[in-house]
Amino acid sequence: MAGPRSPGEFELIARYFAPIAGRAGLGLIDDAALLRPARGYELVVTADALVAGVHFFADDPPASIGRKALGVNLSDLAAKGARPDGFVLTLALPTGWTEDWLAGFAQGLGVMAGEADCPLIGGDTVSTNGPLTLSITAFGSVPAGRMVLRSGAKPCDVVAVTGTIGDGALGLKAHGPDRPAWVGQLPEADRAFLTDRYLHPQPRVALAAALQAHASAAMDVSDGLVGDLAKLLAASKAGAEIDLDAVPLSPAARSAVMADPALAELAWTGGDDYEILCTIPEGEFPSMVAAAEAAGLSLARIGRVTAEAGNVRYTEAGRPRSFARGSFAHF
């Protein structure tokens, strides 16, 4: 007797993804979506691909993978000052996938989509002999001419970051299979906090309007603060002076650095933070801080922009500090 029939692509779409689709997705029964930007607005588009074994562990909870997949795209939109409008998903499922896995993935994806008011509007589902691979393209909108670029930083602007830095990179170590000795020295609550920060990015969507109003340049911290700042400054043809002691660390990250002082460099150069790095004219900084606080976020001044293009001076405890490796790189 034949076993139960596996559901086809269209059944999977109807069962797991149509319930989280928005109106622009046309019920996910067509070959394309239809976005209608409001008069006077422009579209902002971003895409990220995630591969099992590179961006997440294959045995991570499927709901966490779903949340992270959309969260990293929403972080890019937030840094541009964009309001999320919708996203498309390409999902390549490996041999051995199960409906339980897909249900968990869709649940996590739907939670993040609901929190950000960013519905699914289309995509594609295929099978692969390789690792689980997924790609999301997210769409947002900004008033015409108001997208916050990387290239707008000016000398004497404040350099600032939201939240805390280093939690994602330290969380990867705390969560991964080969845990260093320092992980065992942390209280359980600190290990859980760092792991959660790695598994579940918190895109700073609530700060988008404030960035539009006050920031001269911005990007999200995905590949490490040091390396991402270098990218922003290169685009702006500027330099900076950065006080590493002013870089905000969570209590859990401070506990890790106390257990192993060498981890400070990992905190500054590691990825997966998904905080916002921005530059703000000095006169606008108090208003930006107030807007961040109103959105429930912290904003820390860590330095200032200088006119010396490509020259970034880091100090720690008043002494110069340099880095051999600035950020995560795929190639």
Residues of the chain by 3-state class (helix, strand, coil), percent to 5 = 40, 25, 35
135/139 Cα distance (integer angstroms): 13
Q: Is 100 annotated as a binding residue?
A: no
Q: Is 36 annotated as a binding residue?
A: no
141/42 Cα distance (integer angstroms): 5
DSSP secondary structure letter of residue 4 = P
Q: How far apart are the first and last CA of the chain?
A: 50
Burial of 2 (0-12, 13-18, 19+ CB in 10 A): exposed
**Extended beta strands in 97-132, E state:** 120-128
Contact predicate 71/196, CB 8 Å: no
Q: Is 55 annotated as a binding residue?
A: yes
Contact predicate 232/153, CB 8 Å: yes
Biggest CA pair distance of the chain: 76
Q: Is 124 annotated as a binding residue?
A: yes
328/331 Cα distance (integer angstroms): 9
Q: Is 46 annotated as a binding residue?
A: yes
Q: Is 272 annotated as a binding residue?
A: yes
Q: Is 190 annotated as a binding residue?
A: no
DSSP secondary structure letter of residue 119 = -
195, 201, 225 from 186: Cα distances, Å:
12, 21, 24
Q: Is 200 annotated as a binding residue?
A: no
Identity at 276, one-letter amino acid code: I
187/310 Cα distance (integer angstroms): 40
Q: Is 31 annotated as a binding residue?
A: yes
Residues tagged in the binding site annotation for Mg(2+): 31, 46, 48, 76, 124, 220, 223
Residues tagged in the binding site annotation: 31, 46, 48, 55, 76, 123-124, 150, 220, 222-223, 272, 328
Residues tagged in the binding site annotation for substrate: 55, 272, 328
Residues tagged in the binding site annotation for ATP: 123-124, 150, 222
